[in-house]
């Protein structure tokens, strides 16, 4: 059964399995911290902010996405708390009036036309459905970028949800809703 | 331990089998596909908030109102302003891509500003008693034009010249039942597209043209005459010569000319464009009120033309070709310059115009970088004041010709546009149309500051319409004697295409054969040259390389030249040419 | 795409183009290129290798002066409704016809560049990216964010300005309007200075295009092929209608073309 010949073979299988399941995920992603260690939880609790207070819709229906610096300086022109994260934010961004270069976990390819208005306003989906529990997190998880394709790890599986944000995941939900008409519905 | 080759191969085989059960190979395939989608060099469009801003186009005197869709502050798309009383929401092809003008690769980006200023000062000092300092303004009628006139008026020997145009006379297309056009491109770049298109159904267009121009092809009736014989036909229609004489020169049949004369008699009111031998019917030509100017500006040099200057009398020549306007043949200008070291300074964005001849070419800002006003168009029955307000910042190092020339002449100026707007406001005439809300209100109901704000945020002032006037239009092709006898085989017809240089215009120039590109010559297919080939264009004045387009709408023996300044320099009035394979 | 879709009120977006108004200025071609991020021509491009999603052709009645008459015909993807040729032949299924809008949509990201669809299209309305797009320095700032630029090796064509359709849908969703066919204006329709092009929902009997398309003077290109295109042309001139049915050129005209 277990002869001398099959040991290298099984060793190879084991090594490959270990490399593929353990080492590969670590190697394929490069980790990048967000510019500021922002705590959603503090802002939700203390400032009573809901998602749409900072991640706003504009008048023409487009989604403003990540807030610009002026949204933060509305309150944080002077330090409001005692954390070092806030202090470094004020020193590095508020004072020199520099926009933080946030990296978006959910950034889709250029050819995708995603309408937040259609999903939030018309379909009344909750933010957590696609974005997970980011809104109740105390820190921002590091942005893990795939070294080859350049896309975020969250596209494959957003923490706190049962799926990721690849095309197949979007199509699956659209199919369930009976809203699968044409490629150009979602592509531009 | 020593691994045998067999063991290594077994290990490798096991790895290969094992890796299939891991996500690695499948992920690598997907990632490679995704990587290949983000091909380097394909730019990603900018992201940002979409704004709407308004301005007026300053590429030509139509000055059509423009609604710019901007990402952040950068205009990405231009369209007209629907409901505008003058431009009616229309933009021409050049206006549609106007926001590309700042990025033309060949644009002049730097120039010897200090040296030019020194040379001008030197020239001014050296000026003899019979010598002049001249400003040539290729887009007269602007507020900057008044500054030039004032600057030249401040000098004892200053002169202001412009291509002859009567700024106060306009045509009223809505009053014409017949428009008789001698080669004027009525439907293609002559007037304001919005006005012409709105009035089109109300008049019958008779086009006298040597080639099947775009206007000729869309006209109700096209009479094909021999090149440069338009004035002969006009003379026949005016009764100065007999139809038989005109038939000889033009190539038309006597019966055709007689029929045309009869049609003009019965099809009134008739508006005549392009010939001063025939009078337009009263009512079709109006005299506009002059757009008000501050009183102290009236003390300025009068508008004269090139012909009024004696030969060899100009010591310093300053040319403002910052806005696409006319081009006067260089040879006509060169003979007016003094023989010993004249100073010629041109203010231009393109190296193709007078920069080829001038001593100093200074770069200027272009639409939509620059703030300036647009004079009223030929078909606007009321005077207007509209500002082409800047949508983007110009690059550093650009020269403002208005302030440069004023400084050189020792004239101190303030914010001339604001002063002009205030003078208009004082007149309390006319109405102001605001683009943002599409509303019109009388000027007298507005405060000066609000008026100024509206003008800069997108608006225009429209005067009361002018009164009917003596019906002869003095612009247009004056009868000029043809050049000396030449045996060159082709008669030249010059087509003026708005000079632009914008690469995206390749859509209509090269990626289709819809328009004739500047620097191209259209010939009848029987000429024997290949479509799209390069050829040598030769006149008595010189040679140039041109591109060839074959067009069966061009009769044999005629060359339609889409003129660049370089080609215009070669084409004297009535010129003939030869086009050969290069 | 699947039969399990919710029932929707389907639109059939179409155009009517008045050929008696079109003066061949080309503003529509340029507005289309600006809206859809179509790059300027490569140095080696000719009118056979260019990218003109919308192209205005000059046609004439074949006679010499004085009988010669000329017209200008803007041609873009006709969005064939019956057995759409390009949809049928694509090996990648990179083209589909949207049952909700009637628009034939090209997916350049899926296209592998075989150009079978270009051969199948009877209107020559599909264009191939022979080269990578190159905009002069600085001009990439002016790209339209609503449309994605394409790389070389893929086919592209008019999609009735789908970027503007997306924006209109988003504005309707944000305003709480029902998800019925949205009204929007493609770039060429907006740009045409003579107002020759009209756009709308052919399924809506009250729309301008539906009324104009139903007029007896309206015709479509190559009607004999029964592709049921959604672009209707109008002209009072009989010879223009003849040109639209593409009779074989006469021997004299063949010689004239050289």
- pLDDT of A109 > 90? The answer is no
DSSP-based three-state secondary structure for A40: helix
Q: Which of C19, C23, C45 to mutate to test the interface with B (most CBs of B within 10 A)?
A: C23
**Which of A17-21, B248-252, C124-128, C135-139 is predicted with the least confidence, judged by mean pLDDT?**
C135-139
Number of domains in chain B: 4
> How does A150-168 read in b/e, with b if 16+ C-beta sit within 10 Å?
ebbbbbbebeebeebbeee
User: Quick one: B392 and B448 in the same domain?
Assistant: yes
Return the HEC string of A42-55. HHHHHCCCCHHHHC
d(CA B111, CA B50) in angstroms, rounded, equals: 36
Secondary element (H or E) of residue C117: helix C116-120
Cβ burial, residue B33 (10 Å; 0-12/13-18/19+): exposed
State which residue of chain C sits closest to B50, comparing Cα positions.
C145
Q: Tell which of B411, B433, B468 closes a domain.
A: B468
Distance CA A185, CA C96 (A): 11
Highest mean pLDDT among A138-142, B123-127, C74-78: C74-78
Least confident window among A31-35, B81-85, C1-5, C238-242 = C1-5
The pLDDT assigned to B477 comes to 46
Residue C92 has which token pair? 């990648």
Assign residue B319 the CATH number of its domain.
Answer: 3.40.50.740
Q: Which of residues 81-100 of C touch A (CB under 8 A)?
A: 96-100
Tokens of B52: 């709407």
How many domains would you assign to chain C?
A: 1
E strand or H helix at A12: helix A6-18
Q: Is the pLDDT of residue B310 over 80?
A: yes
Q: What is the pLDDT of residues B471-524, one digit of tens each?
A: 666 554 444 555 566 788 999 998 888 877 899 999 999 999 899 999 999 999
Complex prediction ipTM: 0.93
Evaluate whether residue C4 is within a structural domain: no
Is there a domain that residue C6 lies in? Answer: no
Q: Which residue has the higher pLDDT, C253 or B351?
A: B351
Separation CA B514–CA C24 (nearest Å): 7
Element (H, E) at B293: none
Q: Is A20 on the interface with B (CB under 8 A)?
A: yes
How many residue contacts between A and B have a Cβ separation below 8 Å?
96
Provide mean pLDDT across the span C174-186.
Answer: 88
Query: Going by DSSP bridges, is the β-strand pair C197-201/C13-18 parallel, antiparallel, or unpaired?
Result: antiparallel
Inform me whether the C-beta atom of residue A188 falls under 8 Å from chain C C-beta atoms: yes
Partnered with residue B369 across adjacent β-strands are: none
CA–CA gap between residue B87 and residue C196 (Å, rounded): 16
The helix/strand/coil state of C86 is helix
Pair B159, B227 in one domain: no
* Chain B: touching chains (3 or more CB pairs < 8 Å): A, C
For residue A115 the two structure tokens come to: 């309408």
Rounded Cα distance between C135 and B99, Å, is: 14
Residue B99, domain member (yes or no)? no
Please tell me chain B's helix, strand, coil percentages from 3-state DSSP, rounded to the nearest 5: 30, 25, 45
- Dig out the tokens for B248 from the structure: 């000889």
Task: Identify the pLDDT of residue B349.
Answer: 93
Half-sphere exposure of B8 (CA within 13 A, CB side): 5
Residues in chain C with CB shorter than 8 Å from the CB of B71 are 145
Residue with tokens 């690469």: B503
B458/B514 same-domain check: no
**Partners of B581 in beta bridges:** B535
Tokens at B311, concatenated? 């030969």
Looking at the domain assignment, is residue B47 inside a domain? no
Query: How many CB atoms sit inside 10 A of residue A116's CB?
Result: 21
Alpha-carbon gap, residue B387 to C217, rounded angstroms: 44
Inter-chain contact C56–B512, Cβ cutoff 8 Å? Answer: yes
Q: What distance, in Å, lies between the first and last C-alpha atoms of chain B? A: 79
Q: Are B148 and B206 members of one domain?
A: no
Residue after which a domain boundary falls, among B282, B308, B325: B282
Q: Does any CB of chain A come closer than 8 Å to the CB of residue C178?
A: no
Chain A touched by B29 (CB under 8 Å):
no
Question: Same structural domain for residues B293 and B264?
Answer: no
Q: CA B205 → CA A176, B252, B256, B381, C127, distances in Å?
A: 62, 18, 16, 19, 37
Domain boundary among B264, B282, B300: B282
pLDDT in tens, C183-222: 999 999 999 999 999 999 999 999 999 999 999 989 999 9
C21 token code pair: 């108004």
Contacts of A178 in chain C (CB under 8 A): 4-6
Same domain, residue pair B271 and B308 = no
Task: Examine the domain organization and report whether B277 and B293 are in the same domain.
Answer: no
Q: Which position has the token pair 């901007």?
A: B70
pLDDT at C62: 85
- Backbone conformation region of residue C102, classed left if phi is above 0, alpha if psi is from -120 to 50, else beta: left
Looking at the DSSP assignment, which residues form a beta bridge with residue B363? B348
- Whether the pLDDT of residue C111 is over 60: the answer is yes
d(CA B214, CA C69): 12
Question: Can you tell me the mean pLDDT for C159-182?
Answer: 90
Rg of chain A taking only CA atoms, in angstroms: 21
**Would B101 be classed as within a structural domain?**
no
CB atoms within 10 A of CB C25: 27
pLDDT in tens, C16-63: 999 999 999 999 999 999 999 999 999 999 889 999 999 999 998 888
Please indicate, yes or no, whether residues B509 and B433 belong to a single structural domain of this protein: no
> Which domain, by its residues, includes B547?
490-581
Q: What Rg value do the Cα atoms of chain B yield, rounded?
A: 29
Contact list in C for residue B505 (CB cut-off 8 A) is 30, 40
pTM: 0.93
The predicted pLDDT at position C258 comes to 41
Distance (Å, whole) CA B371 – CA B428: 24
- The verdict on B347 and B433 lying in the same domain is yes
Give the tens place of pLDDT for each residue, B402-435: 999 999 999 999 999 999 999 999 999 999 999 9
Do B331 and B443 fall within a single domain? Answer: yes
Mutate to test the interface with B, among A8, A66, A166 (most CBs of B within 10 A): A8
What does the DSSP 8-state code read for residue B476? Answer: S
Within 8 A by CB and 6+ apart from A83, the residues are none
List the single range of B83-87, B240-244, C88-92 with lowest mean pLDDT: B240-244
CA–chain centroid gap for B140, Å, is 13
At residue B478, the pLDDT reads: 47
Residue A42 has phi, psi (to 5 degrees) of: -60, -45
**Does C2 map to a domain?**
no
Nearest alpha-carbon partner for B367 in B101, B145, B104: B101
With residue B465 as reference, give the H or E element that holds it: strand B459-465
Alpha-carbon span B578 to B556, nearest angstrom: 13
Which residue in B8, B23, B50 is closest to A60 by CB distance?
A: B50
Residue B233 in this model has a pLDDT that exceeds 50: yes
The helix-helix angle for B401-408 and B113-126 (nearest 10°) equals 40
Q: Could you tell me which of B184, B284, B285, B277 has the C-alpha nearest to residue B239?
A: B277
Contact list, A111 vs chain C (CB under 8 Å)? 108-109, 148
Q: What is the DSSP letter of A93?
A: I
Residue corresponding to tokens 């191209």: B520
C199: domain CATH number is 3.30.70.20
* Separation of alpha carbons B400 and B259, rounded Å: 54
Contacts of A62 in chain C (CB under 8 A): 167, 170, 174
Assigned domain for C45 exists: yes
Contact criterion met (CB below 8 Å) for B287 and B168:
yes
Number of Cβ within 10 Å of residue B5's Cβ equals 7
* pLDDT (0 to 100) of residue A179: 86
Q: Do A113 and C166 touch (CB under 8 A)?
A: yes
Provide CB contacts within 8 A for C213, sequence distance 6+: C14, C16, C202, C232
Pair B199, B249 in one domain: yes
Cα–Cα distance between C3 and A185 in angstroms, integer? 17
C-alpha angle with apex B336: B334 to B340, nearest 5 degrees? 80
Q: B181 forms bridges with which residues in the sheet?
A: B207, B273
Which of the residues A57, A61, A112 would you substitute to probe the C interface, choosing the one with the greatest number of C C-beta atoms within 10 Å?
A61
In a domain, C8, yes or no: no
pLDDT at C133 > cutoff 80: yes
Candidates B526, B187, B561; CA nearest to C72 is B187
Task: Please give the Cα distance from B323 to B369 (Å, whole number).
Answer: 12
Give the strand pairing for B132-137 and B158-161: parallel
Q: Are residues B305 and B273 in the same domain?
A: no
The answer, for C94 touching chain B at a CB cutoff of 8 Å, is no
Mean pLDDT of C81-97: 95
Residue B316 pLDDT: 96
Angle (CA) B235-B239-B244 rounded to 5° is 75
pLDDT band of residue A180 (cuts 50, 70, 90) is confident
B5: closest CA of chain A, how far (Å): 11
- Judge: B507–C26 Cβ closer than 8 Å, yes or no: yes
Q: Which domain holds residue C233?
A: 13-256
* Residue B78 domain-assigned (yes or no): no
- Cα dist from B244 to A92, B248, B252, whole Å: 88, 6, 9
Spell out which residues of chain A touch residue B14, defining contact as CB-CB under 8 Å.
Answer: 8-16
Q: B324: pLDDT confidence band, cut at 50, 70 and 90?
A: confident
Are B537 and B577 in contact by the 8 Å Cβ rule? The answer is yes
Which residues of chain C have a CB within 8 Å of the CB of B208? none
Task: State pLDDT tens for residues B169-206.
Answer: 899 999 999 999 999 999 998 999 999 999 999 999 99
How many whole angstroms separate alpha carbon C57 and alpha carbon B537?
Answer: 27
CB contact under 8 A, B71 and C145: yes
Cβ B332 vs Cβ B464: under 8 Å: no
In a domain, C1, yes or no: no
Subunits next to C (3 or more Cβ pairs <8 Å) are A, B
Is the residue at C3 inside a domain? no
Q: What are phi and psi of B168, to 5 degrees?
A: -90, -10
- Measured between CA atoms, how close is C172 to chain A, in angstroms? 8
Q: State the DSSP H helix or E strand holding residue B134, giving kind and residue range, or none if neither.
A: strand B132-137
**The dihedral of CA B263, B265, B271, B277: what is its sign?**
positive
Domain assignment present for residue C208? The answer is yes
pLDDT digits (tens, 9 = 90+) for A153-166: 888 888 888 888 88
Q: So what's the pLDDT on residue B3?
A: 76
Q: CB under 8 Å to B97, separation ≥6 — which residues?
A: B78, B500, B502, B504, B505, C30, C34
B80 located within any domain: no
């Amino acid at each position: 059964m277990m002869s001398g010949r099959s040991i290298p073979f099984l060793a190879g299988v084991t090594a490959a399995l270990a490399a593929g399941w353990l080492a590969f995920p670590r190697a394929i992603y490069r980790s990048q911290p967000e510019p500021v260690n922002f705590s959603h939880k503090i802002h939700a609790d203390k400032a009573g902010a809901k998602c749409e207070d900072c991640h706003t819709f504009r008048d023409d229906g487009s989604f403003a996405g990540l807030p610009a610096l002026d949204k933060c300086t509305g309150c944080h022109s002077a330090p409001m708390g005692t954390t070092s994260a806030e202090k470094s934010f004020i020193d590095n961004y508020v004072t020199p009036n520099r926009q933080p270069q946030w990296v978006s976990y959910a950034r889709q390819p250029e050819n995708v036309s995603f309408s937040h208005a259609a999903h939030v306003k018309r379909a009344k989906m909750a933010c957590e459905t696609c974005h997970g529990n980011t809104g109740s997190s105390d820190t921002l998880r590091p942005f893990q970028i795939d070294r080859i394709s350049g896309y975020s790890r969250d596209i494959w599986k957003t923490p706190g949800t049962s799926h990721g944000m690849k095309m197949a995941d979007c199509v699956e939900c659209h199919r369930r809703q009976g809203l699968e008409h044409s490629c150009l519905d979602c592509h531009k | 331990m020593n691994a045998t080759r067999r063991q290594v191969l077994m290990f490798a085989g096991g790895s290969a089998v094992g890796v299939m059960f891991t996500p690695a190979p499948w992920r690598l395939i997907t990632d490679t596909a995704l990587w290949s989608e983000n091909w380097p060099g394909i730019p990603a469009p900018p992201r940002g908030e979409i704004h709407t801003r308004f301005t007026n186009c300053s590429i030509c005197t139509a000055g059509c109102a423009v609604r710019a869709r901007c990402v952040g502050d950068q205009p990405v798309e231009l369209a007209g302003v629907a409901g505008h009383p003058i431009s009616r929401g229309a933009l021409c092809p050049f206006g549609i891509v106007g926001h590309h003008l700042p990025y033309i690769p060949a644009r002049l980006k730097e120039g010897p500003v200090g040296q030019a200023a020194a040379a001008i000062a030197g020239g001014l000092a050296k000026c003899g008693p019979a010598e002049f300092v001249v400003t040539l303004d290729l887009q007269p009628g602007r507020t900057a034009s008044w500054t030039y006139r004032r600057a030249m008026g401040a000098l004892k020997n200053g002169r202001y010249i412009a291509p002859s145009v009567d700024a106060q006379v306009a045509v009223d297309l809505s009053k014409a039942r017949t428009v008789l056009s001698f080669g004027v491109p009525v439907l293609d770049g002559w007037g304001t597209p919005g006005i012409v298109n709105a009035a089109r159904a109300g008049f019958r267009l008779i086009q006298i043209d040597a080639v099947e121009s775009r206007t000729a092809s869309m006209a109700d009736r096209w009479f094909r005459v021999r090149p440069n014989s338009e004035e002969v036909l006009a003379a026949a229609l005016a009764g100065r010569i007999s139809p038989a004489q005109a038939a000889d020169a033009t190539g038309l049949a006597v019966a055709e000319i007689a029929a045309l004369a009869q049609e003009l008699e019965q099809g009134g009111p008739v508006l005549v464009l392009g010939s001063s031998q025939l009078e337009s019917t009263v009512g079709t030509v109006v005299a506009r009120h002059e757009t008000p100017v501050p009183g102290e500006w009236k003390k300025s040099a009068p508008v004269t033309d090139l012909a009024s200057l004696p030969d060899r009398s100009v010591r310093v020549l300053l040319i403002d070709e910052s806005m696409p306007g006319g081009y006067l043949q260089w040879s006509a200008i060169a003979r007016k310059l003094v023989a010993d070291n004249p100073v010629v300074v041109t203010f231009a964005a393109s190296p193709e115009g007078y920069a080829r001849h001038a001593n100093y070419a200074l770069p200027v800002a272009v639409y939509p970088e620059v703030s300036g006003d647009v004079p009223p168009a030929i078909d606007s029955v009321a005077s207007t004041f509209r500002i082409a307000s800047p949508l983007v910042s110009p690059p550093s190092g650009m020269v403002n010709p208005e302030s440069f020339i004023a400084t050189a002449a020792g004239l101190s100026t303030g914010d001339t546009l604001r002063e002009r707007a205030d003078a208009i406001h004082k007149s309390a005439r006319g109405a102001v149309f605001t683009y943002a809300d599409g509303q019109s209100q009388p000027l007298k109901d507005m405060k000066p500051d609000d008026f100024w704000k509206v003008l800069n945020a997108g608006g225009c002032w429209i005067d009361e319409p002018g009164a009917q006037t003596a019906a002869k239009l003095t612009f247009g092709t004056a009868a000029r004697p043809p050049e000396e006898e030449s045996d060159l085989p082709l008669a030249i017809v010059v087509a003026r295409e708005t000079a632009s240089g914008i690469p995206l215009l390749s859509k209509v120039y090269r990626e289709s054969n819809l328009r004739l590109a500047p620097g191209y010559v259209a010939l009848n297919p029987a000429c024997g040259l290949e479509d799209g080939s390069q050829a040598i264009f030769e006149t008595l004045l010189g040679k140039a390389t041109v591109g060839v387009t074959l067009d069966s709408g061009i009769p044999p023996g005629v060359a339609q030249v889409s003129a660049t300044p370089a080609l215009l320099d070669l084409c004297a009035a009535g010129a003939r040419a030869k086009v050969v394979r290069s | 795409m699947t039969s399990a879709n919710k029932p929707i009120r389907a639109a059939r977006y179409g155009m009517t183009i008045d050929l008696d108004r079109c003066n061949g200025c080309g503003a529509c071609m340029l507005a289309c290129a600006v809206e859809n991020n179509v790059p300027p021509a490569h140095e080696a491009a000719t009118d056979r290798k260019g990218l003109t999603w919308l192209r205005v052709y000059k046609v004439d009645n074949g006679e010499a002066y004085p009988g010669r008459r000329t017209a200008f015909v803007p041609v873009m993807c006709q969005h064939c409704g019956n057995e759409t040729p390009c949809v049928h032949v694509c090996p990648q299924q990179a083209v589909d016809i949207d049952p909700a809008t009637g628009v034939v949509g090209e997916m350049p990201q899926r296209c592998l560049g075989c150009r079978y669809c270009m051969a199948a299209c009877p209107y020559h309305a599909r264009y191939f990216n022979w080269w990578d797009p190159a905009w002069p320095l600085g001009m990439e700032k002016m790209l339209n964010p609503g449309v994605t630029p394409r790389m070389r090796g893929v086919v592209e064509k008019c999609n009735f300005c789908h970027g503007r359709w997306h924006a209109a849908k988003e504005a309707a969703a944000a305003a709480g309007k029902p998800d019925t066919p949205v009204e929007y204006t493609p770039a060429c329709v907006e740009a045409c200075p003579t107002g020759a092009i009209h756009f709308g929902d052919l399924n809506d009997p009250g729309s301008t295009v539906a009324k104009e398309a139903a007029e007896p003077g309206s015709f479509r290109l190559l009607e004999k092929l029964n592709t049921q295109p959604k672009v209707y042309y109008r002209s009072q001139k009989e010879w223009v209608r003849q040109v639209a049915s593409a009779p074989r050129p006469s021997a004299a005209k063949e010689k004239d073309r050289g």
